[in-house]
């Protein structure tokens, strides 16, 4: 008869004492051969047939690896729990689970403080990537064509780092798309700075004392970005950190650099130009430092070239307190950017190119008045002649609100009827934060649609509590200026085709008739200024000439470009 006695051994020494043999292996089949005498009934002690889940061995890793509690007790107590752990989602029932169970049972606390639980990479059919099926793009070709940072960014900036799955086809068509958000803008900004600084023979330095408000804005936005990304990285929220970097690079490239190009291009190396160089340099150096954990190779190359220092990975994490932060300019310019985004969206929706001037944009909403200080920027960015403000959104047109009854119904229940009645009767109001207040209920921006049905030849768009309405009527004068700006664009293209460097002066010849000729005649000084033309002739020009014939709105024009010697 067998008794219910069970022996659970906590050390090899205890086993050797009870079984009288040297223990060299803790696995089957060696343990199957061990026998001993039961201290209760005198029967034979044998290994229990069942095998404990091997994940309990892995779950014992934090203390078993240092032979705790027999050795290294002080070390474990000062280094446990671990700061960070990462594994894929199935380990919630494996390693993560046993770590927590054993740590709770033994120490009454978790085995780790932070974790990333990632999902699985699948092919286009939903099958796991497998060496057996070779259902994935060859890694060596990915690295050769796009670099490892591109693939790293693709995976870091993805729901897979939050437990979701990620699908990729055998050709890896999504991989190059990962370059667009951060890698390409970062590299293009770096190239832009190096190109023009080398042309001018100027060595930029890090500083934050410029009085130019565009410089103050981008440095303030940089300070804000560093503070936000520091929180995201401290929280191990890697996708959020990637998004934060992409958002800043969008502002740096498509707002700061684009709107300040003339400061870099102008021939005189005055203090304003040096401020622009130093500000862009300061921004890029700090972006390299905060993006280094996510883009290690790209940032290493850029940082070493920019600073001459040994490695970005030996540099300190950027401190937002060391940078300029002007919250007034930051808030105002953020509103200006939102206003301009709305204006560009209206143009895009109505298929009106940005080069075509328009008469007016009208702004409304409580925040809109923050943009009054920067009317000239809005005029230039949206290519409009006038910027006006109104306190009455109703002046822009008829307001139309549609609530999402399907999603709101379960949340509001019987209150839904009152909300619908308030919307229908015009008693609902858009709040400053973009929400809708109807019958005392707050409706979130994703729970309703709002638009303004503007009058003839007008169009409006909104962003939260901010509204922009463009006058779309194009009169004769505006049309001619638009044609002149089209000519500028094609002359700039011709300069590039002629292999001219950015600061080369040119002689410009134009052969055109009708509206285009009239547009060039009327706006000759604007064209000359924009394309760095010393001379503009209607006909042939002398010297080594690059020429091409293009069409603008169905009208032919010959463009002749020659370098001014």
Calpha distance 538→101 (Å, rounded): 85
Q: Which residues of the chain have pLDDT under 70?
A: 1
**pLDDT at residue 483 in the model:** 96
Answer yes or no: are the C-beta atoms of 154 and 175 closer than 8 Å: yes
Calpha distance 124→170 (Å, rounded): 8
CA distances from 138 to 129, 132, 144, 145 (A): 12, 13, 10, 11
Edge-to-edge strand ranges of the sheet holding 429-430: 429-430, 436-438, 441-443
Residue 371 is classified by DSSP as: G
Distance, C-alpha 269 to centroid of its chain: 33
Residue 194 corresponds to which tokens in the numbers above? 């190096």
Answer yes or no: are the C-beta atoms of 266 and 273 closer than 8 Å: yes
Fold (CATH) for 178-325: Isoleucyl-tRNA Synthetase; Domain 1 (1.10.730)
Torsional sign, CA 387, 390, 395, 399: positive
In sequence order, which ranges of 351-414 are alpha helices (DSSP H)?
375-382, 405-412
**pLDDT at residue 348 in the model:** 96
Q: What is the pTM of this model?
A: 0.85
**pLDDT at residue 318 in the model:** 97
Counting other chains too, the contacts that 327-335 makes at CB distance below 8 Å and 24 or more residues apart are 327/220, 329/213, 329/216, 329/217, 329/220, 330/217, 330/220, 330/221, 330/224, 331/370, 332/370, 332/371, 332/373, 332/374, 333/213, 333/217, 333/374, 335/367, 335/368, 335/370, 335/371, 335/466
**pLDDT at residue 136 in the model:** 87
* Nearest CA among 518, 564, 563 for reference residue 538: 518
Calpha distance 387→342 (Å, rounded): 14
How many angstroms separate the first and last alpha carbons of the chain?
A: 111
Matching residue, tokens 């001993």: 36
**pLDDT at residue 97 in the model:** 94
**pLDDT at residue 73 in the model:** 93
DSSP H or E run through 504: none
Torsional sign, CA 51, 54, 56, 60: positive
Strands (E), 391-537: 397-403, 429-430, 436-438, 441-443, 448-454, 458-463, 466-471, 506-512, 533-537
- Report the DSSP pairing between strands 545-552 and 555-563: antiparallel
HEC sequence for 169-210: CCCCCCCCCHHHHHHHHHHHHHHHHHHHHHHHCCCCCCCCCC
DSSP H or E run through 84: strand 82-88
């Amino acid at each position: 008869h067998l008794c219910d006695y069970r022996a659970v051994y906590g050390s090899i020494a205890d086993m050797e004492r009870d079984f009288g043999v040297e223990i060299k292996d803790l696995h089957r089949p060696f343990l199957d051969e061990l026998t001993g005498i039961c201290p209760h009934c005198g029967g034979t002690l044998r290994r229990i047939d069942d095998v404990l889940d091997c994940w309990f061995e892995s779950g014992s890793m934090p203390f078993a690896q240092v032979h705790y509690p027999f050795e290294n007790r002080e070390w474990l107590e000062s280094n446990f729990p671990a700061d960070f752990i990462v594994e894929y989602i199935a380990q919630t029932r494996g390693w993560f689970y046993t770590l927590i169970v054993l740590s709770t049972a033994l120490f009454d606390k978790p085995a780790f403080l932070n974790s990333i639980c990632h999902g699985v990479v699948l092919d286009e059919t939903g099958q796991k990537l497998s060496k057996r099926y070779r259902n994935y793009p060859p890694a060596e070709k990915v690295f050769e064509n796009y670099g490892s940072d591109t693939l790293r960014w693709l995976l870091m900036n993805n729901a897979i780092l939050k437990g979701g799955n990620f699908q990729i086809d055998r050709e890896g068509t999504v991989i190059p798309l990962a370059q667009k958000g951060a890698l390409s803008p970062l590299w293009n900004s770096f190239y832009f700075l190096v190109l023009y600084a080398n042309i001018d023979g100027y060595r930029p330095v890090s500083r934050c004392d410029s009085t130019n408000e565009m410089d103050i804005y981008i440095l303030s936005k940089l300070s804000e970005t560093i503070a936000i990304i520091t929180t995201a990285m401290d929280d191990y929220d890697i996708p959020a950190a990637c998004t934060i970097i992409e958002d800043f690079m969008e502002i740096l490239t498509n707002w700061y650099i684009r709107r300040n190009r003339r400061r870099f291009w102008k021939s005189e190396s005055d203090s304003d130009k040096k401020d622009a160089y130093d500000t862009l340099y300061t921004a890029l150096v700090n972006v390299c430092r905060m993006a280094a954990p996510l883009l290690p190779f790209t940032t290493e190359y850029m940082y070493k070239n920019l600073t001459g220092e040994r490695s970005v990975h030996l540099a300190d994490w950027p401190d937002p307190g060391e940078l300029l932060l002007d919250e007034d300019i930051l808030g105002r310019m953020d509103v200006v950017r939102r206003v301009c985004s709305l204006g560009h969206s209206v143009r895009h929706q109505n298929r009106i190119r940005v080069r075509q001037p328009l008469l007016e944009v009208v702004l409304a909403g409580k925040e809109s008045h923050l943009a009054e200080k920067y009317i000239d920027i809005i005029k230039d960015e949206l290519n409009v002649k006038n910027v006006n403000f109104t306190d009455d959104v109703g002046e822009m047109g008829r307001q139309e609100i549609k609530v999402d009854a399907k999603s709101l119904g379960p949340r509001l229940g019987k209150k839904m009827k009152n909300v619908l009645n308030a919307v229908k009767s015009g008693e609902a109001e858009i709040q400053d934060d973009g929400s809708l207040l109807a019958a005392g209920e707050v409706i979130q921006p994703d729970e309703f649609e709002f638009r303004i049905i503007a009058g003839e030849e007008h169009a409006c768009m909104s962003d939260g509590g901010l509204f922009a309405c463009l006058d779309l009527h194009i009169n004769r004068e505006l049309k001619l200026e638009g044609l002149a700006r089209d000519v500028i664009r094609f002359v700039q293209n011709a300069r590039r085709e002629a292999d001219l460097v950015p600061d080369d002066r040119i002689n410009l010849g134009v052969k055109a008739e009708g509206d285009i000729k009239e547009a060039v005649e009327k706006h000759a000084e604007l064209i000359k200024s924009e394309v760095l033309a010393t001379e503009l002739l209607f006909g042939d020009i002398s010297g080594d000439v690059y020429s091409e014939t293009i069409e603008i709105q169905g009208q032919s024009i010959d463009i002749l470009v020659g370098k001014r010697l």
